[in-house]
Amino acid sequence: MTQSIWRMPRWFHQMGSPKWFYDFGGSLQPWFAIAAFALLTWGMVWGLAFAPADYQQGNSFRIMYVHVPAALLSQSVFLGMAVAGAVGIIWKIKVAFMVARSCIAIGATFTAIALLTGAIWGKPTWGAYWVWDARLTSTLVLLFLYAGVMALNQAITDRQIAGKATAILAIVGTINIPIIKYSVEWWNTLHQSSSFTLTAKPSMPADMYLPLLLTVLGSYCVFVLVILIRTRAQILQTQSGANWLMQHRDITGA
Amino acid sequence: MIGFMLTIIRRDLLLVARQPAEMINPLVFFVLVIAMFPLGISPEASILSQVAAGVIWVAAMLATLLSLELLFKLDHDDGSLEQLLLAPYPSWCLVLSKVFVHWLVSGLPLILISPFIAMMLFLPDHAIPTLMLSLLLGTPTLSLLGAIGAALVTGVRGGGMLLTLLILPLYVPVIIFGASSVAAAAQGMPVDGYMALLAAMLVFALMITPWAAGSALKL
Amino acid sequence: MSSSSSAMSDLFFTSDLACERDFRVLYSSLNFSVKAGDLWHIKGRNGAGKTTLLRQLAGLHSVDTGQVLYPNEATKVIYVGHKLGLKEQLTAEENLSWLAGLNGFSTKLQRYAALEQVGLSGYEENAVEQLSAGQKRRVALARLHLCKAEVWLLDEPFTSLDQQGIVDEQDWLNQHTLAGGAVIMTSHQDISLPQVKVLDLSLYAGSSLGDLSREGGSST
């Protein structure tokens, strides 16, 4: 057994405890809820009501405030799922598999939102709801990847085996995503160039991209919030009967 | 280690020899799927020759996936997978041996029959060497990547549909470059770049499959 | 039950081995060591984890809590499970050939001799699918004679054997342990050998759910 190739730091070990995650996650939860609500409200109101209209696209560009965060999240969540899965495999941490499992549905939802808003945005921009644009196509493939992960996770009845199998598939998928993106872009060179990155100087005026930054940050907070809620729910489910849980204030009401 | 791999290869080839249908079925499936396209689209040579490359590649993908379902499942069901995993050798030896036999039995025949299929679909004659070469580089990649899915669904009931769901998205780059290479050759354009990319993907699949499928089998 | 301090004389030992399935603890804190000449009979009711324990000892089932350690890496183990690991389309001799080939090498003569020892002379070239359930079991057990392994892990090895087969097999177990091998087996049948030791899994049944999860039990 090759167990101690990578020694686990102490704090990391501690994070793997369901009790620790339940308590720490529980204390973080309200803060992320507040941050998500505030950032999204601020960004959306600013973006939808006050930001200037685009000189080419008019008001239709405003769907970007939903589309871009969803598209960013769709990929980040997949990456997060793979990282959580890898942590679970390497250090045998069950909570990590639960986190990875929590990622599936929220990631697929963000991907679906990105596709849907992309199609709606496409109608005024290209004159059709669907074109085989490179980014839409690779987002579609990403949705298929999520569908595969979801199907595998549900098909395996043993939760621990399902967790590991899902993790392997998520890792393989993550390694493949750049290759898929590259090949699809190569296949269709008629794509819009990316107009927004967090590192490069944006080509939009500040009034347009600052609200976007807010909605992106807000969406990340929503993501963390959902992960916390769903993972803690899974801990309650699987640990029911454990000593620490039976004595927990959430159960005893003390 | 070589002896271990040869043992598996010899056993699996012996099994195929006892049940040749295992080898013939994917081939018949391949031809059958392709025969549906002229029936569904049009027997017109000008139309068929345009879609020929994509049709052949999609059919090859489906034939590979269907035959992959049983790659580890039969061994799992009769318990011989346990014995293979217990051998004192790393599981990637097992994965590579099984994938090699799978490719020999289901991939290679597709390549050999592809010139006839190409003629049925009116692919220009000068594109046929490219078609065969691209299949030669691409079908092992299909077998390798598919083996990851086959390993993941080994213990799952009704894994065939699931395997397709898991693996088809991973096949996207292979079909893009494979079919594009044939289309480019049909138009008389150079195909070196495509072949290099297909070869790169084969190397890539050789790198991740042994780990991924090996750890999936040990779950 | 000796502790790990006497590790050197052990063929293998477990330390704090546990198993949980779907977050239900089957057994935990299992410490036992297996020495040359041991014959362990694992007992427990259905679902107690007997098969899982054998699979963990063989390395087929993942060990998330505790350890299974073989001090000498060269220790050879044969596992014969519920599923026999035979290919129906191949003959008895061909099956032995590939099974033995996984660990080394065997000659046709040796394979014939092993099949003779399990009473299958004359069936060497029959496809396994033509054999009865008891005969299939004998083919699988023929590996015990063909591949020289110190440790035999046998899951219900008497299943579908006839009266004579059960007597014969107890004789093999006896000879193997007297020759310095070790056997760990599950069976609903009692074994009438003097050296048999019983491991009752119900003594290690999980006390409380979730106690295995890393710090779960140590809440303050």
Say which residues have a Cβ less than 8 Å from residue B44's Cβ, sequence separation at least 6.
Answer: none
Q: Is B170 on the interface with A (CB under 8 A)?
A: yes
DSSP string covering C4-61? GGGGGGEEEEEEEEEEEETTEEEEEEE--EEETT-EEEEE--TTSSHHHHHHHHHT-S
- Mutation for testing the C interface, residue in A92, A168, A244 having most C CBs under 10 Å: A244
- Ordered by start, the domain boundaries in chain B are 2-217
pLDDT exceeds 60 at position A249: yes
- Of C11 and B57, which is predicted with more confidence? B57
Compute CA distances A116 → A185, B159, C78, whole Å: 20, 30, 56
| DSSP for residue B154 | T
Query: Of B138, B61, B147, B60, which is closest to residue B102 (Cα–Cα)?
Result: B147
Q: Is C219 on the interface with A (CB under 8 A)?
A: yes
Share of chain A above pLDDT 90, in %: 52
Token pair belonging to B42: 């049009």
- Of A16 and C108, which is predicted with more confidence? C108
Q: Are C105 and B82 a contacting pair at CB < 8 A?
A: no
Name the interface residues of B facing C (CB cutoff 8 Å): 3-4, 7-8, 10-11, 14-15, 18-19, 77-80, 82-88, 218-219
Q: How many Cα neighbours within 13 Å face the side chain of C55?
A: 18
- Beta pairing, strands C24-30 & C10-21: antiparallel
Share of chain B above pLDDT 70, in %: 100
Q: Is C67 on the interface with A (CB under 8 A)?
A: yes
Say which residues have a Cβ less than 8 Å from residue B137's Cβ, sequence separation at least 6.
Answer: B195, B198, B199, B202
- φ, ψ dihedrals at C34, nearest 5°: -120, 125
Q: What average pLDDT does range B35-63 have in this prediction?
A: 93
pLDDT digits (tens, 9 = 90+) for B75-109: 999 999 999 999 888 999 999 999 999 999 999 99
Which pTM was predicted? 0.89
pLDDT attached to residue C23: 67
pLDDT exceeds 70 at position A142: yes
pLDDT digits (tens, 9 = 90+) for A90-111: 888 889 999 999 999 999 999 9
Q: How far apart are CA B117 and CA B126, in angstroms?
A: 14
Quick one: angle between helices B2-18 and B91-102, nearest 10?
A: 40
DSSP string covering B127-152? GHHHHHHHHHHHHHHHHHHHHHHHHH
Position C136 in a domain: yes
- The domain tally of chain C equals 1
pLDDT attached to residue A195: 44
Q: Count of CB atoms within 10 A of residue C65's CB?
A: 17
Question: Are the CB atoms for B196 and A165 separated by under 8 Å?
Answer: no
Task: Tell me the one-letter amino acid at A244.
Answer: W
Q: Are B86 and C81 a contacting pair at CB < 8 A?
A: no
Number of continuous H segments (helices) and E segments (strands) in chain A: 9, 0
Token pair belonging to C54: 């054998």
Q: Count of CB atoms within 10 A of residue B41's CB?
A: 13
Chain A positions touching C216 (Cβ under 8 A) are 17-19, 239, 242-244
pLDDT attached to residue A192: 46
pLDDT digits (tens, 9 = 90+) for B133-169: 999 999 999 999 999 999 999 988 878 899 999 999 9
Tell me the average pLDDT of chain A.
85
In this complex, which chains have at least 3 CB pairs below 8 Å with chain B?
A, C
Position C131 in a domain: yes
pLDDT attached to residue A94: 86
Chain C positions touching B14 (Cβ under 8 A) are 90, 94
Three-state secondary structure call for residue C159: coil
Q: Are A14 and C215 a contacting pair at CB < 8 A?
A: yes
CA B190 to chain centre: 25
Say which residues have a Cβ less than 8 Å from residue B196's Cβ, sequence separation at least 6.
Answer: none
Position C217 in a domain: no
pLDDT exceeds 50 at position C76: yes
pLDDT exceeds 70 at position A205: yes
